[in-house]
Amino acid sequence: MARYIELHPVDPQPRAIAQTVALLNDDDALIAYPTDSCYALGARMDSVTGPERIRQIRNLDAKHDFTLVCSDFSQLGSLVYLDNSAFRAIKAATPGAYTFILPATKEVPRRLHHPKKKTVGVRIPQHPVVRELLRALGEPLLSSTLLLPGDEEPLTDGWQINDTLGHQIDAVLDSGECGTEPTTVIDFSGGAPEVVRRGAGDPTPFE
């Protein structure tokens, strides 16, 4: 069963964050964690098993754009190619409940690319727990919205996630209520921004 880790939603306990980082680093763990949009599944970016475990849980095909969750804009900028207009638009919208699809740099493992477009999703969240986790981890977190096959809405309660997925993941981070909508997804891979999913972030600046 998954380890159940309770954290303060604003000032997460350093010991609990350290336990989570140790799981990610030492055990190639897959975790469920809260964000400012909703719960997500996460693993280290270079995890050998993480991408396939996420695909199995969510019943995703190879064309799914994984998201790399970043601590800041400078980390995001090392993972994707940005022209001046994309740079300005994304900088103004982060941190926030947005995922941006962009061409991936060589820093991103090939197995995380979209197989044809060579793109990847990137995002900088606002939630204190994930921001502290990213700071302690020191690298981006491979991530995907915790939306199960056949469900119209993502899971939002830690206890429910533990009951449903406790045998398929390694840890559940519970800090109480978080967002209930997935991120708004903006695709910059064709040059001009295209809103491909309306969610928690206001899409107006990109329309």
- For the chain, the structural domain boundaries read 3-206
The sign of the CA dihedral 61, 73, 89, 124 is: positive
Q: In which residue ranges of the chain is pLDDT below 50?
A: none
- AA identity, residue 198: R
For 118-127, write each residue's pLDDT tens digit: 999 999 999 9
pLDDT of residue 191: 87
State the pTM of this model: 0.94
DSSP H/E element including 17: helix 14-27
Of 6, 64, 196, 36, nearest to 123 by C-alpha is: 36
Residue 189 neighbours by CB under 8 Å, 6+ apart = 101, 102, 103, 117, 119
Query: Are 73 and 125 spatial neighbours (Cβ–Cβ below 8 Å)?
Result: no
Question: Residue 42 has what pLDDT?
Answer: 97
- What is the model's pLDDT at position 11? 96
Q: Can you tell me the distance from the alpha carbon of 171 to that of 27, in angstroms, rounded to the nearest whole number?
A: 11
pLDDT in tens, 22-57: 999 988 999 999 999 999 999 999 999 999 999 999
Would you identify the CATH topology of the domain 3-206?
DHBP synthase (3.90.870)
